[in-house]
Amino acid sequence: MTETPAWTALKAAAKADGARRIRALFDAEPDRLEGLTFEAAGLTLDLSKQPWSREGATAAVELAVAAGVEAARERLFNGEIVNLTEGRPAMHMALRAAAGADFKAAGKAVSEEVEDVRDAMQDFVAAVRSGMAGGATGRPFKSVLHIGIGGSDLGPRLIWEALRPLVPEIQLRFAANIDGAEFAAATAGLDPEETLVVVVSKTFTTQETLANARAAKAWLEAKLGAGKADSHLAAVSANPAEAGRFGIAEDRVFAFRDWVGGRYSVWSAVGLSCAIGLGWPAFEGLLAGAAAMDEHFETAPLDANMPLMLALAHVFNRNGLERPLRAVVPYARRLALFPAYLQQLEMESNGKRVTQGGLPVSQATAASVFGDAGTNGQHAFFQLLHQGTDIIPVDFIALAEDHEGPKSHRNMLLANAIAQAEALMIGQENLNEPHRHFPGDRPSSFILLERLTPETLGALIALYEHKTFVEGVLWDIDSFDQWGVELGKVLAGRVLRELDGGDGPDHDPSTAALIARLAR
Ligand code: F6P
């Protein structure tokens, strides 16, 4: 695909900006901080430490205009088919809209159905939390074992770790991987009599999830007796018939539709375990925070639009300055899983190589994302961020107010976050001792949450969802499919048959040797 004039202009602007120091841009542009600081839904985003000048940022906004981001956003919110290869809308916004909304998916009204499922969830949450819905022996549930993988795991796990009480009344455990060690760890110390198992799978065909669900049923029945596990099982799926065939009672199956992508699904019944563990008001708060970000994204002008400007800053680095990596560092232990969550959101959504029209893309697409909580990351990979040969932009995330632990820690934690962003940008010259020289000019974004609440967490996740969508529009790719995961699944099925002793096709010598060695 040939490059559009807007892309060429962005790259020219980035080249010019790349020759200037970020620090010097503050002197050249007295209103830089104000112009590049954005407020929405309880979040503040500072993009002034990004490498763009005013002209560079303007070229980026013009790229968004030329790429038709506004029209694409309208199509998204109107529930049009934006996932072309699967012929589906992507209506995660409908799931978090306040009661009385009127969203459509492919022309069909969906808000009423969304609210019905939410009501059923709320009733179930109340019943479990009050002890009304208990186990086979009449004991209330003290634990929820959440079984699911990818989008059916990462969101609930992130939300639980971010918002969980330190000593929960109902604890959540997660089993995602098809690794016996994971199942063993997830069930260790749990009493089946007091455990509710929630099986979450959009398709209800995922190998790992079904194997873990079967293991969980066996684990329950080993204590409760054969056929006695029904009251301990619930399911969440866009394929409720398959959940029924698995043996989960109809009134325990919470459905969502295929117009929600797995990695955008935590707002649906996929969040059921979190709602049980955290209580319904917390789950509602999460939805409300995301809905506030939706409203901002849908209505704010482009140059004041937080998800859009965050996307443009990333694209400026990725395409304008050819930086293929990005680090995400939350200075909040409770958000330590956020980089892992973003890996699926961004890399599964935008790790694509053909356009919506099936042609090779004209621009590099998603950056690889990695990260860990600060300050831990400082003592691990920050050496490379400061002095490595690649320039890796960083997203810093921090909380203005904390509410737990020793009070004296707050300032130390925040001082580190602020200082790292500053150090990356300003560097430190030391020509006599090259190993002590910090080149600086390494860009970052700084996201500040007033406090970590269900609302601000919902807004933060929705911010990244929408910025991922904007990037997909700029790159002209389908952000809502994930065909790249299919080949490995098919080959795993074949290899599994061979490990189990069956015949298989010809393999390369390396693959054949591994199978021969490990088959039993
Ligand atoms: O294999 C990738 C994937 O399809 C993800 O997109 C999805 O979130 C995950 O698997 C789990 O799928 P499911 O919810 O259907 O079990």
Give the number of the atom of ligand 1 that is nearest the alpha carbon of residue 486. Answer: 1
Token pair belonging to 234: 């619930």
Q: pTM for the full model?
A: 0.98
pLDDT in tens, 265-274: 999 999 999 9
Distance CA 52, CA 22 (A): 8
Which residue of 147, 202, 237, 481 sits with most ligand 1 atoms within 8 Å of its CB, as the best mutation to test the pocket?
202
- Terminal CA-to-CA distance of the chain, rounded, Å? 49
Query: How does the average pLDDT of the chain come out, rounded?
Result: 97
pLDDT in tens, 348-397: 999 999 999 999 999 999 999 999 999 999 999 999 999 999 999 999 99
Distances (CA, A) of 28 to 24, 31, 33, 423, 443: 6, 9, 12, 20, 17
261 CA to middle of ligand 1, Å?
Answer: 9
Three-state SS annotation for 274-308: HHHHHCHHHHHHHHHHHHHHHHHHHHCCHHHCHHH
Q: Does residue 206's CB lie within 6 angstroms of at least one atom of ligand 1? A: yes
> In this predicted structure, what is the pLDDT of residue 1?
63
Q: Does residue 203's CB lie within 6 angstroms of at least one atom of ligand 1? A: yes
Q: Does residue 513's CB lie within 6 angstroms of at least one atom of ligand 1? A: no
| List of long-range contacts for 210-214, beta carbons under 8 Å, 24+ apart | 210/246, 211/178, 212/147, 212/175, 212/176, 212/178, 212/182, 212/183, 213/147, 213/246
pLDDT in tens, 448-506: 999 999 999 999 999 999 999 999 999 999 999 999 999 999 999 999 999 999 998 99
Among protein residues, the one with the nearest Cα to ligand 1's atom 10 is 150
> In this predicted structure, what is the pLDDT of residue 402?
85
pLDDT in tens, 197-228: 999 999 999 999 999 999 999 999 999 999 99
345 CA to middle of ligand 1, Å?
Answer: 12
- Among 156, 131, 135, smallest CA distance to 146 is for 156
Hunting for tokens 């190998």 — which residue is that?
207
Q: What percent of the chain has pLDDT over 90?
A: 98
pLDDT bin (cut points 50, 70, 90) of residue 2 is confident
Q: Does residue 201's CB lie within 6 angstroms of at least one atom of ligand 1? A: yes
Q: Does residue 143's CB lie within 6 angstroms of at least one atom of ligand 1? A: no
Q: Does residue 262's CB lie within 6 angstroms of at least one atom of ligand 1? A: yes
* Active-site residue set: 348, 379, 489
Report residue 515 CA to chain centroid gap. 34
